[in-house]
Structures are given as C-alpha cells and as structure tokens.
C-alpha cells in the first residue's frame, strides 16, 4: 500500500481516470478539499496505483481506475476498509453497478439518492421579483458570519451542507471558480440576511446552482424561487450553455421548483448513498 505523497499522487491519478471515463469524480467536493488542504491526516487510507479506499469516521470513499476494474481490486480494498465494525456510509457517484454489487456483498443498504438535474441556459426564465422590503445583492467580505448562520439553519437536517464552517467556507472561496458576484444574497431593509444563492461556473459553458438556502424564518415568501432565478440570470449573463444542480430525490418542494424552471433529470445522473447501520462485523 502507498502512503504519504505517493498515495496522494495515486489518488489524484485514479480520480482523473475516473472523471475521464465515467464523467464524474469518484469523490465529492468535501473530500477533494480535505485531500488538497490536509492530505491524508485523520483518514484511514488503503491506496494502490490502481485504486483507493478512504475511511473518514463513518464515511467511506472507494474507487478503482477504469483500466484495473474487474480484477477484484475493489473487493480487496473494501475488505480492508470495512474490517472495522460500526455504522458507515458510502457514495456511488453515478450509480455504478459494481458499487451496487459491492454494497450487497458487504451488507450496505441503498438509503439516499442525489439527483443531478440539468437545464439548457437558452430556455427562457420567468419573471421573479423579490417581495416588498427585500433586495438582492452580491456577497461582501462582511457577510461570512451571517451566511454561515443562515446555511446552518436552512440545512440543519442535511448532513453534508449543514456542517459547513468558517474553514470550509474559506477553502471554497479560495478555489479558482469562486466569484463574489455569483453569490447572491436576499436581504431585508434592515440588512438581515434572509437567503442566498451561491452559483458556480465550472468552465465557459457549464454553470451550477451550487447552493440555495433560505432562513427558516423567511420561508414561505417565494425567496427560493426568486434567488434561483436571479442566479440563473447571472450564469446566463456569463455565457454558460447549461446549468446543473444536485438535489435529494425525495425533496418534493425543490423538485417542483426546479422542474418548473426547466430542469430535468436523467436516470444516469443519479448519485447513490449506501449505509451500513449494524455494529457488528460484516462477512463477505
């Protein structure tokens, strides 16, 4: 097994091969940022030149390079990473059949689906004016504390987004794609932050509805729709041809909102979370 910098280099190579072959990164943004800023510190890592398994507390990330698949490496890595008993979650970014097979083998149940929805930027947008007493403005350097507070309240029951802290915010804002003009805030006449739409531009043609959050105290006023439309207008002005977003498959209100704005989901655009809830060891 590889360690230290050779392990990080191998992980990056496997991720790159996966992105090129599968169209998705085998790890999510939070894991990518952790590897970038903190390396393998605090992570259980089993890494070879052709694949890796990373265990962070109760979360597991496992990937095998496309050229090395079908040779049992995924099972061997899973056996090592799953040897320690206890609750565990693992994402399959793209709903791969091999991931489903490994999940069945090791007793992990399919528990969540995250949909990718896409929208052509040329589709006309509806008019969505802010309610009386609310204005939309860009993010400023003094808004970080209020942004984190609204994010925590809006995503209190979301295990990934709701845990965003000042360090995580700073890391994301240090990324090349960050644009303060693409982080739109809905504020009251008194200056209170009511909600936000953080957009992301991946490249010249692809944009993303990165995060839309509305304070629970301000919900029911149509701010989610207003902010979403404002962000889509911003991305369209930047010249993107397509916009994507991620949404929980059982979030009916969000699905209605996004569907009404022209977003569509294809079955292949599905990320699946598997979960092991028992406290005992699982035998293959």
What total of structural domains would you count in the chain?
Answer: 2
- Asked whether residue 192 falls in the same domain as residue 108, the answer is no
Q: What is the pLDDT of residues 122-146, one digit of tens each?
A: 999 999 999 999 999 999 989 999 9
- Asked whether residue 174 falls in the same domain as residue 138, the answer is yes
- Asked whether residue 39 falls in the same domain as residue 127, the answer is no
Residue among 104, 30, 86 nearest 61 (CA): 30
Residue 278: the pLDDT is 66
Residue among 105, 113, 108 nearest 87 (CA): 108
- Asked whether residue 138 falls in the same domain as residue 66, the answer is no
- Asked whether residue 191 falls in the same domain as residue 229, the answer is yes
- Asked whether residue 154 falls in the same domain as residue 104, the answer is no
Question: 90 lies in a domain?
Answer: yes
- Asked whether residue 226 falls in the same domain as residue 163, the answer is yes
Tell me whether residue 207 is annotated as binding: no
Tell me whether residue 63 is annotated as binding: yes
Judge whether 42 and 64 are in contact, CB under 8 Å: no
Tell me whether residue 184 is annotated as binding: no
What pTM, to 2 d.p., does this model score? 0.90
Tell me whether residue 255 is annotated as binding: yes
Q: What is the pLDDT of residues 164-217, one digit of tens each?
A: 999 999 999 999 999 999 999 999 999 999 999 999 999 999 999 999 999 999
With pLDDT > 70 as the criterion, what percentage of the chain qualifies? Answer: 98
Tell me whether residue 252 is annotated as binding: yes
- Asked whether residue 87 falls in the same domain as residue 134, the answer is no
Tell me whether residue 151 is annotated as binding: no
Tell me whether residue 205 is annotated as binding: no
Number of other CB atoms surrounding residue 80 within 10 Å: 13
- Asked whether residue 81 falls in the same domain as residue 143, the answer is no
- Asked whether residue 147 falls in the same domain as residue 187, the answer is yes
- Asked whether residue 183 falls in the same domain as residue 164, the answer is yes
Maximum pairwise Cα distance, the chain: 62
Tell me whether residue 113 is annotated as binding: no
Distances (CA, A) of 74 to 45, 47, 71, 78: 14, 11, 8, 6
Question: 65 lies in a domain?
Answer: yes
| Containing structural domain, residue 129 | 123-240
Quick one: residue 137, left, alpha or beta (phi over 0 = left, psi -120 to 50 = alpha)?
beta
Tell me whether residue 212 is annotated as binding: yes
- Asked whether residue 64 falls in the same domain as residue 154, the answer is no
Question: 260 lies in a domain?
Answer: no
Question: 51 lies in a domain?
Answer: yes
Tell me whether residue 223 is annotated as binding: yes
């Amino acid at each position: 097994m590889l360690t230290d910098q050779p392990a990080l280099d191998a992980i990056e190579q496997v991720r790159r091969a996966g992105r090129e072959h599968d169209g998705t990164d085998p790890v999510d943004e939070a894991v990518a940022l952790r590897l970038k800023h903190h390396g393998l510190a605090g992570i259980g890592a089993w890494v070879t030149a052709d694949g890796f398994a990373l265990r962070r507390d109760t979360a597991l990330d496992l990937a095998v390079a496309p050229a090395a698949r079908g040779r049992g490496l995924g099972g061997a890595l899973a056996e090592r990473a799953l040897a320690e008993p206890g609750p565990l979650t693992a994402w399959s970014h793209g709903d791969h059949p091999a991931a489903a097979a490994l999940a069945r083998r090791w007793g992990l149940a399919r528990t969540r689906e995250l949909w990718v929805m896409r929208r052509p930027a040329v589709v006309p947008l509806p008019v969505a004016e802010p309610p009386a007493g609310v204005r939309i403005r860009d993010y400023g350097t003094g808004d970080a504390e209020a942004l984190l507070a609204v994010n925590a309240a809006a995503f209190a029951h979301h295990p990934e987004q709701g845990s965003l802290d000042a360090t995580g915010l700073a890391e994301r804002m240090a990324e090349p794609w960050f644009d303060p003009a693409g982080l739109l805030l809905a504020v009251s006449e008194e200056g209170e932050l009511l909600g936000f739409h953080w957009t992301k531009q991946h490249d010249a043609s692809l944009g993303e509805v990165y995060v839309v959050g509305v304070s629970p105290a301000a919900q029911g006023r149509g701010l989610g729709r207003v902010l979403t439309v404002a962000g889509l207008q911003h991305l369209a002005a930047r010249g993107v041809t397509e916009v994507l977003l991620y949404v929980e498959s059982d979030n009916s209100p969000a699905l209605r909102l996004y569907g009404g704005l022209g977003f569509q989901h294809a079955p292949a655009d599905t990320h699946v979370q598997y979960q092991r809830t028992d406290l005992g060891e699982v035998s293959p």
